[in-house]
Amino acid sequence: MAAARAAMVARLEDNGDLRPGPVRQALLALPREVLMPQAFVRRSQPDQTPPHWDLLDWSTPEDRQELLAVLYSGQSVLIQHDGEPLLGRMPAPRSGGRITSMSSTVAMTADLLHQLDLQPGHRVLDIGTGAAVTAAIACWICGDGGVVTLDRGQHVTDAAHARLAALGYRATTVTGDGEAGWPRRAPYDRLFMSYAVQRVATACVEQLAPGGRALATLRGTSPSWPGLAVITRTPRGQVVGELQAVAFGHCPGHGLPRIFLSKAFRDRIISGAGGHVLHSRQAPPADQPRALWLAVDHLRPGLVRTWVADHLMIGAPACGSWLTARPDGPGGWTLTACGPRDIWNEIQTIAARWRAAGSPHSYRLHFADDDQWVSAGSGSRELAWPLPQPQPLDTGTQENPACPSPVSPD
């Protein structure tokens, strides 16, 4: 298993996703098979319904080779189906339903942990426990006494409690609403939210210590253009926020709207059925910088980009509108559009506003009482939008008892 960990780390380094430092050392040291002794693999095609999964089990010899490959592939690892218990379950196929908890890709986790800049002695709040990979790395770097990991799923925190203990860590595991944080151990030097939200939880700001830093994936309605909220509290207590446009972000959290382009919708766009053709000398905005598309997502919500095409292909699932843009010669573009939304005009309008604001690569993130908003530029050229108010969740909160005495992780 040490060889599998080393191979995964080497791939991450070769791809530029990992650099020297404590995060790298933690990934080399932590056995993922202890944190994820079972994992699902999908046996059906992406658009096949109902979906089918097999649950691989580390204690089953014939599963080990495939499970080892899954755990150290660097990709997301699926750990829970339909909110089921993770401890004591029997490996058996699952059909229908959905995956309700997973471990994020290692490259994304490593990048975010690099940005957190964890240090020994830091007090850390990890919101969205999942497979407890982030919590384990925080324990390894900072020491387990200051680490709190919180998840809304009791079965998830029960498993994390047991598996962190198996590694010798006595982190605090909490079941509750991530929007509330965990004030009992506040303030925190570092705070990490492992699922996407539409605005930063007020508790994440209030529970941050002077000199502290918090990270959270912030999404509009689309999965295509995530943002990373970076919040710091200065030594004097001032809160400073930045919203960065990023290539990858966490999946939406509980209750956050999810939209996607179904296979039938994609096939309709590809066929061009019902579309009308236009020609333009104006090019569509390039994929880079992503900050422009982040503004499109928030100011003209409901659009999804498909990345499998070699040209611009965007749909609006709610109303069935879609747009494609293909180059048709020197300086010319062929547009095919369908539906009530004028997606081309929407994109170009926001692009003009983005350029007027100075073509920003990131945005200011503002906090005032219960209001949050994003802006760039100033005066009449300012590009700004409010972030939606959170929807309350009716969930209780409880803390698991302390883990038993540490044992050797290897």
Active-site positions? 101
Which two structure tokens, joined as six digits, stand for 336? Answer: 């095919």
- Please list the residues that pair with 318 across neighbouring strands: none
How buried is 280 (Cβ within 10 angstroms: 0-12 exposed, 13-18 middle, 19+ buried)?
middle
Quote the CA–CA distance of 278 and 336 in Å, as a whole number. Answer: 6
Other CB atoms within a 10 A radius of the CB of residue 234 amount to 11
Give yes or no for a contact between 332 and 261, defined as CB atoms under 8 angstroms apart. Answer: no
Run of H or E residues at 367: strand 362-368
Give yes or no for a contact between 60 and 42, defined as CB atoms under 8 angstroms apart. Answer: no
**In the block, residue with structure tokens 């006494």:** 145
Quote the CA–CA distance of 312 and 293 in Å, as a whole number. Answer: 12
Which two structure tokens, joined as six digits, stand for 215? Answer: 């990270």
Residue spans of beta strands (DSSP E) within 25-138: 38-42, 52-57, 77-81, 94-95, 99-103, 124-127
* Count of helix runs (H) and strand runs (E) in the chain: 11, 21
